[in-house]
């Protein structure tokens, strides 16, 4: 099991699928959300959690004030666990979807402020690039933040034009990448020089 770290549902324990998922470690999740809250207010944001697994990342955002969270996973076991976790967390605004990431993004765009993308570490970089490109087709409001979790030895995300890469950190065998969507046109990297929260650096 894993737990929610902060916010309205702090301490609630979440079930995780027995196989086929790799839950984000608590210390990585804590560093991720520390970095997010340094650059955006999570209150009222709309969140899309792809390859959601147990839904831990999306539920963490919801606990910290997000208005709504859509949890997407293609695994029937993961979907079943997420629905159980909805009851455990007890907060409104959760939508659980059984679909692949690319399949979901082929549907009618529903613009969001934050995307959490935690694919299997062996997912090819080309497939991640395809997902990021799909997100650019109306799924992101201007200024939306996208986070990708990868294996530290994997190829980093290839951000399409319109993203400004702001942050990446390594935590053991995990690496987090964050970028901001500025819209089609020149890519801006203004957030490269933004201050990092104390203790965010990986060991």
**pLDDT for 190:** 46
Domains of the chain, residue spans: 2-16+24-187
Distance CA 48, CA 159 (A): 18
Structure pTM? 0.88
Distance CA 150, CA 28 (A): 12
* Sign for the pseudo-dihedral over CA of 113, 111, 136, 175: positive
Phi first, then psi: give them for residue 147, nearest 5 degrees: -120, 130
pLDDT tier at 149, thresholds 50, 70, 90: very high
Quick: pLDDT tens for 99-111. 999 999 999 999 9
- Non-local (6+) Cβ contacts of 87 within 8 A are none
Quick: pLDDT tens for 172-195. 889 999 999 999 765 544 444 444
User: Within its chain, how far is the Cα of 156 from the centroid?
Assistant: 15
Nearest Cα neighbor of 41 from 63, 59, 62, 66 is 66
Whether residue 12 has pLDDT greater than 50: yes
Residue with tokens 């089609």: 184
117, 131 in Cβ contact below 8 A? yes
Q: Say which range, 31-40, 66-75, 85-94, has the weakest mean pLDDT.
A: 31-40
Mean pLDDT of 130-158: 95
DSSP state of 69: E
Question: Residue 91, SS3?
Answer: coil
Please state, rounded to an integer, the average pLDDT across all residues of the chain. Answer: 89
Distance CA 104, CA 102 (A): 5
Run of H or E residues at 29: helix 26-39
Instruction: Compute CA distances 1 → 19, 28, 56, 61, 181, whole Å.
Output: 12, 16, 10, 18, 33
Q: Say which range, 26-30, 37-41, 165-169, has the weakest mean pLDDT.
A: 165-169
Class of domain 2-16+24-187: alpha beta
Q: Say which range, 4-13, 18-27, 78-87, has the weakest mean pLDDT.
A: 18-27
Instruction: Compute CA distances 37 → 18, 66, 94, 202, whole Å.
Output: 31, 12, 21, 17
Residue with tokens 């997912």: 123
Quick: pLDDT tens for 67-82. 999 999 999 999 999 9
Instruction: Compute CA distances 20 → 51, 74, 120, 133, 155, whole Å.
Output: 11, 11, 9, 26, 21
**pLDDT for 197:** 39
């Amino acid at each position: 099991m894993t737990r929610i770290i902060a916010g309205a549902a702090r301490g609630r324990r979440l079930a995780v699928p027995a196989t086929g998922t790799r839950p984000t470690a608590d210390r990585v999740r804590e560093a991720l959300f520390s970095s997010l809250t340094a650059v955006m207010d999570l209150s009222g944001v709309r969140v899309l959690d792809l390859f959601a697994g147990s839904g831990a990342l999306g539920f963490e955002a919801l606990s910290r004030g997000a208005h709504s969270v859509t949890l997407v996973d293609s695994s029937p076991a993961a979907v079943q666990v997420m629905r159980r976790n909805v009851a455990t967390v007890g907060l409104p605004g959760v939508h659980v979807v059984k679909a692949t990431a690319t399949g979901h993004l082929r549907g009618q765009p529903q613009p969001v402020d934050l995307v959490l993308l935690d694919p299997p570490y062996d997912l090819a970089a080309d497939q991640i690039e395809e997902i990021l490109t799909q997100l650019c087709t109306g799924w992101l409001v201007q200024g939306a933040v996208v986070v990708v979790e990868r294996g530290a030895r994997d190829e980093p995300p290839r951000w399409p034009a319109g993203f400004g890469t702001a942050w990446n950190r390594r935590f053991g065998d995990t690496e987090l990448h964050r970028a901001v969507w500025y819209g089609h046109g020149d890519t801006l990297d203004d957030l490269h020089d933004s201050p990092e929260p104390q203790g965010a650096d990986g060991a």
